């Protein structure tokens, strides 16, 4: 009887141990932090992390960089020029590679930057009608700088726009409530230069966005920041892989889908399904 009772007890202990093992929680979900309005890009990085086997989700927060510092977020994507302005406001770098290099050098101890999206940017851009481009003699923003005294700019209220292009000190842009009223004003001649961005989802096809071949306007390429030595090799690879598949046209198209009501997470997942990362 003693042997039988011992056997029953052992079976019970094994059952408890097996149940305990079965209830062990999986790895916690990694937080990709973003400001409100930046969810689409954050979802791209969260989807990339999941693609490489790391559970990840997006959380919106007032200051994602503060969240990175407090460990409330593990990855925070941002734009190179804006981040450089935060960490090194005295920098005059404008070209994409130079902005990225100076950003990496300016990061606080403990933070690291992943690969930036060389083919995807969202920096301020100037749109004009065809007649204005012909009158100014070029399809580049240098034409605007050379016709500085003729520029009558407009912008969507709250948009961040350069105050100067080269030696041209630009007038403060007239404010419009949305893109539709801004471009209507451009067509009617109320303004002759409309500030937009290179990945804006709502730039109409009948206007010309001036090129910026000499980098008069500071680069704004997407880059992920994370805490140094806290991501695994696979996790760093995951966030770096986004740079290899994303371009400006795709970013604008995804933003257009979101503006039309699509869920940012679903849009990001669909993009990576159509543009798989290397594994």
Query: Residue 12, Cβ neighbours under 10 Å: how many?
Result: 10
Tokens representing residue 102 in the block:
């100076």
How confident is the model at residue 231, as a pLDDT?
96
Mean pLDDT of successive 10-residue stretches along the chain, which has 279 residues: 44 44 68 96 98 97 95 97 97 98 96 97 97 95 94 96 94 96 98 97 95 97 95 96 97 97 98 90
Which pairing describes strands 193-197 and 174-176: parallel, antiparallel, or unpaired? unpaired
User: How does DSSP classify residue 60?
Assistant: E
CA atoms within 13 A of residue 64's CA, in its CB half-sphere: 25
Write down the pTM of the prediction.
0.88
What pLDDT, on the 0 to 100 scale, is given for residue 27? 73
Separation CA 21–CA 27 (nearest Å)? 14
Tokens encoding 3: 């042997």
Cα separation, 78 vs 221, in Å, equals 8
| Tokens read off for 222 | 């997407």
User: What tokens appear for 17 in the block?
Assistant: 């141990």
Q: Measuring CA to CA, which residue among 232, 149, 230, 226 is closest to residue 193?
A: 149
* b/e burial code for range 174-183 (CB count within 10 A of at least 16 → b): eebeebeebb
């Amino acid at each position: 009887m003693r042997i039988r009772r011992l056997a029953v007890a052992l079976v019970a202990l094994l059952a408890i141990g097996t149940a305990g093992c079965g209830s062990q929680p999986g790895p916690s979900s990694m937080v990709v932090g973003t400001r409100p309005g930046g969810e689409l890009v954050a979802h791209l990085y969260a989807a990339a992390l999941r693609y490489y086997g790391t559970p990840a989700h997006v959380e919106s927060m007032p200051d994602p960089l503060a969240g990175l510092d407090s460990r409330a977020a593990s990855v925070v994507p941002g734009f190179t020029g804006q981040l450089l302005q935060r960490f090194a406001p005295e920098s005059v770098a404008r070209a994409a590679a130079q902005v990225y290099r100076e950003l990496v050098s300016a990061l606080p101890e403990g933070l690291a930057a992943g690969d930036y999206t060389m083919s995807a940017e969202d920096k301020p851009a100037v749109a004009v009608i065809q007649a204005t481009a012909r009158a100014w003699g070029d399809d580049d923003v240098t034409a605007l700088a050379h016709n500085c005294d003729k520029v009558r700019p407009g912008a969507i209220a709250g948009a961040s726009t350069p105050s100067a292009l080269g030696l041209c000190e630009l007038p403060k842009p007239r404010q419009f409530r949305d893109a539709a009223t801004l471009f209507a004003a451009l067509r009617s001649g109320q303004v002759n230069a409309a500030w937009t961005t290179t990945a804006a989802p709502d730039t109409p096809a009948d206007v010309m966005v001036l090129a910026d071949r000499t980098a008069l306007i500071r680069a704004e390429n997407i880059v992920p920041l994370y805490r140094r030595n806290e991501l695994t090799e696979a996790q760093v690879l995951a966030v770096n892989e986004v740079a290899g598949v994303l371009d400006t046209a795709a970013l604008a198209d995804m933003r257009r889908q979101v503006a039309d009501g699509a869920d940012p997470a679903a849009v990001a997942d669909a993009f990576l399904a159509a543009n798989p990362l290397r594994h």
